[in-house]
Structure formats: structure tokens, C-alpha cells
Amino acid sequence: MRIVIAGGHGQIALRLERLLAGRGNDVAGLIRDPDQAEDLRAVGADPLVHDLEKASVEEIAHAMQGADAAVFAAGAGPGSGTARKETVDHGAAVLFADAAERAGVRRYLVVSSMGATATPPVGTDPVFAVYLRAKAAADADIQARTGLDWTILRPGHLTNDPGTGRVKLAASTGPAPVSRDDVAAVLAELIDTPSTAGLTLELIEGHTPVAVAVKDVAGN
């Protein structure tokens, strides 16, 4: 398979690129900083330099030509301020989805966030509330599309602990941590499991092997 990943230098994306390339896939990661290119090559991915806040749909669609799947793993990141939550976490996700449709790439996965909602709980940090609303708006846009075989993954609190290969994956799990290693492993399995299309899933640490957890939610 050829898989194109937005946010290709992110912590989850680099782990996912290594996994996918190790399975013999052709992997490309979109980055806006050319200085990051060698990091992608080191994990087996082809770096594609595009700024999703400035690029056109046509430009990104061209970069996605021939892909079998697309993964939106981009994010404005901590300390980015409220404006970029909208332009990246919402706007870039929509643009990337538009480009996937134009390029004929039906399989589309989104790394969202647990708690993504248009009405964050009272007392939520104001910047984080903007982030959650941006993620919720992006998810709603994707969920309304019939031109994509989408799956939305909403991990719990992300850690850099070593992955265990065991998770809890369901429509609703409740909040808990999950390692970035295990998020990447679940994404790789979801790509290979097209029957998970149309599902919005929460992910936390758990006791079920990743492959089994994905098969269970897919009904396989």
C-alpha cells in the first residue's frame, strides 16, 4: 500500500511511519519544515514538503495521487495559541480530506482527541477548549462525508511510555492514558482493516492485544 500521512514529523506519525515502512508499505509524510526530512527518511518515509495552512487542495491532492490510504495526524501543538487550533486542527483536517476526495483516496483516518466536543466542560483551560472545539468541528466534517471510508481515533492522555501492545478500543472507553507507541500500532491495524470505516473510536491502555482489539470493533 501507499499511505500519505499529514503531520509527518509528529511523535505519533514518526512511529506510524516506521511501523508501516517495516511492513513493506510505501509511506510518505507531509512536513512544512524541510529540515525535518532526514528524520522521516530515517524511519523509512518519503518526506513531502507542504504547508497545510497555505497549500491548496489541488497541491495536496497531487501529492496524494496513487495513495491507498491517508492519515491526518497533524496538530498545531502545545503553545501554538488559539488561532492555529482552528487553522491546523480544524482547517487543515478539512483541506486534507478535500484533497483525499479529489485524489480518489477513500481510506481516511483521523487522529483526533478524547473529549473532542463543541461544548467542553465548564472550567476547561480556554486554549484547550478551543482545541477540543476545533477537533470536534473537524470530526463532524469528516463524519458527514460519503466520499471517504473514514475512521476517527480518539486517544486518551498521550504518554511516551513504551508500548505494551495491549489496549482498550471502543466507541466509549472513559479517560485514561495510552502510549504513543500503542496509538501508532492501532492506526496501522486500522489501515489494514477497512471494515472499521464509519467508526469513531476511543483508545486507552488496556489488556487486549492490538490486533484483537481492532478485529473486535470491526466485527471480524
- Nearest CA to 96 out of 60, 120, 124, 43 is that of 60
User: Considering 103, 131, 136, 199, which one is annotated as catalytic?
Assistant: 131
User: What's the rounded Cα separation, in Å, for the pair 144 and 146?
Assistant: 7
DSSP string, 63-128: HTTT-SEEEE-----TTS-HHHIIIIIIIIHHHHHHHHHHHT--EEEEE--TT--SSPPTT--HHH
CA gap 168, 172 in Å, rounded: 10
- Nearest CA to 85 out of 132, 131, 36, 43 is that of 131
Say whether 108 is catalytic: no
Start-to-end CA span in the chain (Å): 21
The residues assigned a catalytic role are 131
